[in-house]
Each structure stands twice: as C-alpha cells, then as structure tokens.
Structure 1
C-alpha cells in the first residue's frame, strides 16, 4: 500500500511543463529565423521546407502543452481537495499535517491515514458533507511511503 506525505501532495509539480515551454520558445525562434531567411532568399526553397517542418512541430508541441495544462489544472484542483482534507484530519487528531500520510492523491470514499498515533480510516457520508474518522488496525501492512 502506498502512502503519500503532505509534502508530496503540496510540492508535487510537473517539471516537464518548464521543459515544454523552453521547447516551444526554441521552436518559435527557429521557425521565425528560417522563415525570415526564406523571405530574404526566395530562390533557396529548402528554408521554406524547414520553416514548414519547424512550424508543424511548434503547433504539435503547443497542442501537447495545452492538453497538459488542462490535465494539470484538474489535478491541481483534486490535490487542493485532498490537502484540505489532510489539514482537517491533522487538526482533529492534534498533529501537524507534515506528520500525516494518505493512501490516495484524490479524495475518494475510503481514505486511510498513516499517523504517528496509528492508522485511521476516513469515511464520508452519502453527500460528502461530513466524515467519520476511526482508528483501524492493519495486519501485516506493506507500506511504501512516497515523499517529496
């Protein structure tokens, strides 16, 4: 069973976003350079072809970036929900949120919390407005702790 620490939930960012933005900027510079060179020397058709290829790569990378940003926004909203839940549970158990670990990165109906006081199960009511926190005993748990 994998548990995620509070630090992992709050600091887990997708570093590929920065690499993709750098790639988009590089492709844009290459595209503009090749297109300007083609406009100056119209007799050299290979720069036209290279600018079309780099423009296509630029559009493809932009499409991937937009798709990734939409999924990142959704994941960020879900992470915000689970971190708020972790803070509430930490307050109820009188421990720091950094001392807690949860078995999911999104809120669902059956969350397990690993605390210094033991394991707790969080069970929401039918409409999700309230929850019950009860202590549980896990027999021979194989726990993997994922930290930032």
Structure 2
C-alpha cells in the first residue's frame, strides 16, 4: 500500500509536460525547416508533404499537452484541498504535518490516514466541512511512503 506525505502532494511534478513541450518544440522546428525548403524548392513536393506531416504531429502533441495541463490543474486543485485536511488531522492529534500520511493524493471519502503507526478511515460529512476518523486495519502491512 502506498501512502503520501504532504510534501509529496505539494511538490509532485509531472514529467509528461516536459516531454510534450520538447516534442512540440522539435515538431515546430522541423515544420519551420521543411517550410523553408518548400519555399526554396517549390517543384519538389516532398517538402510540402513533410511539412504537412510535421504540422499534424505538432497539432497532436499540442492537443496532448492541453489535456495534460487540464489534468495537472485538476490534480493541483485536489492537492490544495488535501493540504488543509492533513494539517487539521495533525493539529487535532498534536502532531507535525510530516507525521501524517494518506493513501490517496486526492481528498475523497474513505481514504486511509496513518499516524503513530495506526490507520484510520476518513468519513466526511455531506457538506465536507467535518470528518470522522475510524480505526481500521489494512490487509497488506507492507507500506511504501512517497516523500
């Protein structure tokens, strides 16, 4: 079972964005180069065809990046909801927030919170402004903590 610290939730960066930005930049440079070759040698249509291929690749990678940005925004807002919850649990049980770990980076009903080597299931009210911790036991005691 994997648990996440507050530090991991706030600082987790997506590598996919860097890869997509790199592919977009390479496609843009290739599109620019083939456009220059096409305008210089208008009778050779292979440069026009390559330009169309690179334009389509650029559009595909740009679409993927927009999708990733939307997903990252959703994850970021959910992580912003998780931080006050972790701090509230730590404050209520007289702990540091680094001593509280959760099994999900998103704030949902039924997540498991671990502190003092004990596990608790979280039940939120319908309005979401309060919670109840119920002692629970996990089947798999092998814990992986993501810092």
1:127 counterpart SS class: coil
Give the superposition deviation at 1:117: 5.8
Counterpart in 1 of 2:144? Answer: 145
Q: Which runs of 5+ in 1 are unaligned?
A: none
- Asked if structure 2 preserves the Cα contact closer than 8 Å seen for 1:8 and 1:146, the reply is no
Unaligned runs of 5+ in 2: none
Contact 2:119-2:138 at 8 Å conserved across structures: no
**TM-score, with length taken from structure 1:** 0.88
Determine helix, strand or coil for the equivalent of 1:108.
Answer: coil
Q: Which moved more, 1:110-119 or 1:23-32?
A: 110-119
2:17 maps to 1:7 = no
CA distance in 1: counterparts of 2:140 and 2:60, whole angstroms: 45
Contact map agreement 1:5 1:145 (CA 8 A) in 2: no
Q: How does 1:73-92 map to 2 (within 5 A)?
A: 73-92=73-92
1:120 and 2:116 correspond: no
TM-score of the two chains, using structure 2 as the length reference: 0.89
Distance 1:31 1:137, change over 3 A: closer
Aligned 8 A contact 1:112 1:120 in 2? yes
Counterpart residue number, 1:31: 31
SS at match of 1:110: coil
- Please state how far the C-alpha of 1:143 moved relative to its aligned partner: 3.9
Match of 2:42? 42
Structure 1 segments (4+ residues) deviating >6 Å: none
Alpha-carbon distance in 2 for matches of 1:125, 1:34: 59
Query: Is the partner of 1:42 in helix, strand or coil?
Result: coil
Alpha-carbon deviation of 1:141?
Answer: 4.8
Name the Cα RMSD after superposition.
1.8
**C-alpha distance in 2 between matches for 1:84 and 1:30:** 46
